[in-house]
Structure 1
Amino acid sequence: MTHLITPVNLLIAIVTLGVGTVKAVAARHKRDWTLRLTASVLITAGMIFLLAAPTVYRAVGTLTHSPNLSALLVPSATLICVAHAHALSQLWREDRRDPASLRRTAARWGPFYGSAIVAMTVLYFHAPLGEAAPLRFAAEYAPVPEVVAFHIVYWIALITTVVVTVRECWQLSIPGRPDFVEDLRRCIGYFAVALGFDLVNVLLTAIALVGSATGAHSGRSFAESAWLATIASCVAANMALASLVLRSRRAERRDKRALQALHDLVVREDPTVASNPHVLFAPRWSLWTGFDTSFELAIVMTQIHDGCGRLSPWWSPLPSVAVARLYAAEPPQGTPSKGRPDDVWDLTAAQAAATLLHAAQARGEAQAPYPPQVRLSRLPGSDIEIHEDRQHLVLVAQHLSHPRVLRAVDLAGQAQSVGRAS
Structure 2
Amino acid sequence: MIETVVTPINLFIAAVTLGLGAVKARAVRQQREWTLKLTASVLIIAGLIFLLATPVVYRAVGNAVGSPNVCALLVPAMTLTCVGHAHLLTQLWREDRRRPAVLRRTAARWGPVYLGALIAMTALHVHAPLGPAAPLRFAAVYAHVPEVVAFHFVYWAALITTVIVTVRECTKLSIPGRPGLVDELKQAIGWFAVALGFDLVNVGLTAVALLGSKTGPQRLEGIAESAWLGTIASCIAANIALASMVLRSRRAERGDRRRLLALHDLVVSRDPAVEADPHIVLAPRWSLWTGFDTSLELNSLMAEIHDGCGRLSPWWSHVPAAAVSRLAPERAADETSWNIRAAQDAATVLYAAQARTAAQPAVRDRLTKLPGADIEPHADRRHLVQTALLLNHPVVLEAVALAHQVHTPPAPR
TM-score (norm 1): 0.85
Distance 2:72 2:319 in 1: 73
Q: Kindly indicate whether the alpha-carbon contact (under 8 Å) linking 2:90 and 2:170 is maintained by their aligned counterparts in 1.
A: yes
The alignment status of 1:300 with 2:301, answered yes or no, reads yes
Q: Kindly indicate whether the alpha-carbon contact (under 8 Å) linking 1:123 and 1:150 is maintained by their aligned counterparts in 2.
A: yes
Q: Deviations over 1:171-194 (max 9, x none)?
A: 333331345444566555544443
- Corresponding residue number in structure 1 for 2:349: 356
Deviation at 1:334, TM superposition (A): 4.6
Task: Describe the shift of the 1:299–1:22 C-alpha distance in structure 2 as closer, same or farther (beyond 3 A).
Answer: closer
Report the more deviating stretch, 95-104 or 149-158: 95-104
Q: Which amino acid aligns with 1:156?
A: A
Q: Kindly indicate whether the alpha-carbon contact (under 8 Å) linking 2:390 and 2:396 is maintained by their aligned counterparts in 1.
A: yes
Report the more deviating stretch, 411-420 or 111-120: 411-420
The alignment status of 1:58 with 2:59, answered yes or no, reads yes
Distance 1:76 1:329 in 2: 61
Task: Describe the shift of the 1:354–1:29 C-alpha distance in structure 2 as closer, same or farther (beyond 3 A).
Answer: closer
Q: How does 1:236-275 map to 2 (within 5 A)?
A: 236-267=237-268, 268-270=271-273, 273=277, 275=279
Distance 1:205 1:379 in 2: 61
- Corresponding residue number in structure 2 for 1:384: 375
Deviation at 1:325, TM superposition (A): 5.0
Q: How does 1:257-406 map to 2 (within 5 A)?
A: 257-267=258-268, 268-270=271-273, 273=277, 275-277=279-281, 280-286=283-289, 291-324=292-325, 326-331=327-332, 333-336=334-337, 345-372=338-365, 375-406=366-397
Report the more deviating stretch, 315-324 or 219-228: 315-324
Distance 2:348 2:245 in 1: 36
Task: Describe the shift of the 1:325–1:94 C-alpha distance in structure 2 as closer, same or farther (beyond 3 A).
Answer: closer
Q: Which amino acid aligns with 1:27?
A: V
**Paired residue secondary structure (1:142):** coil
Q: How many residues align?
A: 409
Distance 1:331 1:32 in 2: 36
- Corresponding residue number in structure 2 for 1:113: 114
Q: Deviations over 1:3-59 (max 9, x none)?
A: 222211111111112222232233244332222222221121111111212222233
Deviation at 1:116, TM superposition (A): 1.8
Distance 1:37 1:330 in 2: 45
Task: Describe the shift of the 1:17–1:330 C-alpha distance in structure 2 as closer, same or farther (beyond 3 A).
Answer: closer
Q: Deviations over 1:146-180 (max 9, x none)?
A: 21111111111111221222222223333313454
Q: Kindly indicate whether the alpha-carbon contact (under 8 Å) linking 2:91 and 2:103 is maintained by their aligned counterparts in 1.
A: yes
Q: Deviations over 1:253-296 (max 9, x none)?
A: 2212211211221221415646153x53222222xx76333233
- Corresponding residue number in structure 2 for 1:235: 236
Q: How does 1:9-20 map to 2 (within 5 A)?
A: 9-20=10-21
TM-score (norm 2): 0.87
Query: Percent identity of the aligned residues?
Result: 63
Deviation at 1:330, TM superposition (A): 4.1
Q: Which amino acid aligns with 1:136?
A: R
- Corresponding residue number in structure 2 for 1:340: none
Q: Which amino acid aligns with 1:236?
A: A
**Paired residue secondary structure (1:172):** coil
Task: Describe the shift of the 1:204–1:356 C-alpha distance in structure 2 as closer, same or farther (beyond 3 A).
Answer: same
Q: Kindly indicate whether the alpha-carbon contact (under 8 Å) linking 1:79 and 1:158 is maintained by their aligned counterparts in 2.
A: yes
Q: Which ranges in structure 1 are unaligned for 5 or more consecutive residues?
A: 337-344
**Paired residue secondary structure (1:95):** coil
Q: Kindly indicate whether the alpha-carbon contact (under 8 Å) linking 1:52 and 1:74 is maintained by their aligned counterparts in 2.
A: yes
Q: Which ranges in structure 2 are unaligned for 5 or more consecutive residues?
A: none
Q: Kindly indicate whether the alpha-carbon contact (under 8 Å) linking 1:135 and 1:224 is maintained by their aligned counterparts in 2.
A: yes
* CA RMSD across the alignment: 2.9
Distance 2:100 2:402 in 1: 50
**Paired residue secondary structure (1:132):** coil
Distance 1:352 1:22 in 2: 36
